[in-house]
Structure formats: structure tokens, C-alpha cells
Amino acid sequence: MRHFIIDCDTAEDDIMSLFMLLRYGISVEGITIVEGNISFEQEVNNALWALEFVGKDIPVYPGSQRPIIKSYRTVENVHGKGGIGDKVVKPSKLKPSNKHAVDAIIELADRFAGELEFLAISPLTNLALAYLKDKGIAEKIKKVWVMGGTIYGRGNITPVAEYNIWVDPDAAKIVFNSGMDITMVSWDLITNYTVNEEWEEIKKMKTKLSEFYIDIYTHYRNYAMTKQKMKGNPHPDLITTAIAVDKSVATKIERQYVDVENCDCLTRGMTVIDYLGILGKEPNVDVVYEINREKFINMLYYLLSWF
């Protein structure tokens, strides 16, 4: 049995990532919520609503509502005002925990020491604050899977920065230099693996979950294809999750030294990868450079055939 925390700024791809963990029989010990895509309250509501949709009761721990130091902005233009398009949802029964995400991370790292995996598909504020409160979690957390950064400097919130890292570059800098075992899946990598003609195949599946998928991704797909010049809808969080579930989805990984630009300047949030070892520092991140698209798409189909 694998034990995970999933850290969310809950929009459509976060929800589907949670569902993928559950579909593959992974024990999700907690869902931690952090500032990011949409209003914080709606992120919490989306997580609870998604759990109700799949009939699960997993603790949802609200965490940091802002970056450690900097200001940031939400991106309703990308995900819709509800994070799943413009529909705004609320849970009917489930409520969030009173425990703060930072304390939940520390407690779960203690309880599942050496076994807990952390799926960071959002800004890294909660994890950084947990580490600052208890540096021992760096040894206790078995693995951190990060959706964030760029490998070729092609960003989505600035010309060179990916959104999750840009929101809280100070937190990212702390986490990347913490000694945790990190695998990074970058934005400019996942843009090569969009759902294109598969969209029509998914429409034909006619499962409850495939119809749910079409509903919550339509806004994001339209934005990606019109504003971001993509051929379909990208899956940054879900590809990261697929790699976390089955590492063989990643077909090319290089261990490199990665640091984060945390200035308030043109390159804020840029992940700086020392390709040539110029800095002479010990590599700290497993950086994914290629994935097996067919394997990922098959995992997506398997997920959408759940019910």
C-alpha cells in the first residue's frame, strides 16, 4: 500500500489527479489546500465536492492562503471562475478539517515515516512551511512529485516561469534545497502531450466519469487551444500523477541541480537547471524530459472507465 498526500489548488486537473490516485488503489491520507488557481474558499469547496462525487471521505486540510513573502494572482481566465469552468460548486455534506495543512503534513510524515509520498501539483507554500517548522520531514517523506517549473525556459505565467513556482518562488527555493527526494515535471514538457483527437474518443465512452471529464475540462481546453496555441488540453497535474503512480511513464529522466529565481524581477519563478554542472553543486532533482504518451493516454482511459 502506498501512502500519499495530494497538495492542491483545486481546479479540474487537480480533481482528476486525486481520482487517478484512488483508481490505482493508492491510500490518500490527506488533501492539503494551498493558494493558487482560484479563490481559496472555492479550492476547498472543489476538493470536498470532488470527494462527494466519488463517494470518498478523505480529510481536507486548508493551508496557506498566500505565498510566504510575495503577492500573487489567481488565474480564473485559465480555469474558469469555479476552477472547473465557470460553474461554481459546493459540497453538500463534507466539511474541511480544522487542522492546518502544515500540521497535517508534519503529523502524516511522522505516522508514515519513510513511506509517505507528497504529490505537489500546486505552489509549494504548504510543504515549505512544514519543512521550516520541522526539518525532519525531509528524511521522513519518501518522495516529492512536483508539477512545476520549466526545462527550456518557456513559461505560462511569464515568458520564462511556470505558474506554480512563480506564485511562491521562495517556497520552491526552500523545498528544492531541502534535501527531499524530488522529481520535477515541467510545464514546457507537458505541453507536448495534450489530449487531441482522444477528446472525441472520450466523448464516446459514455461513462459517468468520462462525461464529468468533458464537462470540467471544456473551459480549460478552449483556453489552451485559443490562448496558449496548443493542439488540445494539457494535463500538467495528471501527467505528474501518472508518473508518480507508474514511474515508467517517464522515459527520460536526468538528475540535475535545480534552483529557483526568487527575485521580484523579469525571471521571478524561473527554474534554473545547471545542465553542464557549471555551479559544481550536487544534483538535487530528477528532471523529467520525455514521457510515453501512449502509456499516459491508456492510464487516462483506464481512469475514465472507472464508473
pLDDT per residue of the chain (307 residues) written in tens, 0 to 9: 999 999 999 999 999 999 999 999 999 999 999 999 999 999 999 999 999 999 999 999 999 999 999 999 999 999 999 999 999 999 999 999 999 999 999 999 999 999 999 999 999 999 999 999 999 999 999 999 999 999 999 999 999 999 999 999 999 999 999 999 999 999 999 999 999 999 999 999 999 999 999 999 999 999 999 999 899 999 999 999 999 999 999 999 999 999 999 999 999 999 999 999 999 999 999 999 999 999 999 999 999 999 9
DSSP 248: G
101-111 and 125-133 helices, crossing angle to 10°: 60
- Could you give the CA distance from residue 141 to residue 164 in angstroms, rounded to a whole number? 21
Q: According to the model, what pLDDT value does residue 176 have?
A: 98
Q: According to the model, what pLDDT value does residue 117 have?
A: 98
12-23 and 208-226 helices, crossing angle to 10°: 140
Question: What are the two backbone dihedrals, phi and then psi, of residue 273, each rounded to the nearest 5 degrees?
Answer: -100, 125
Q: According to the model, what pLDDT value does residue 62 have?
A: 98
Q: Residue 61: which H helix or E strand, with range? A: strand 60-62
Q: According to the model, what pLDDT value does residue 227 have?
A: 92
Nearest of 124, 144, 129, 126 to residue 271 by alpha carbon: 124
Q: According to the model, what pLDDT value does residue 153 have?
A: 95
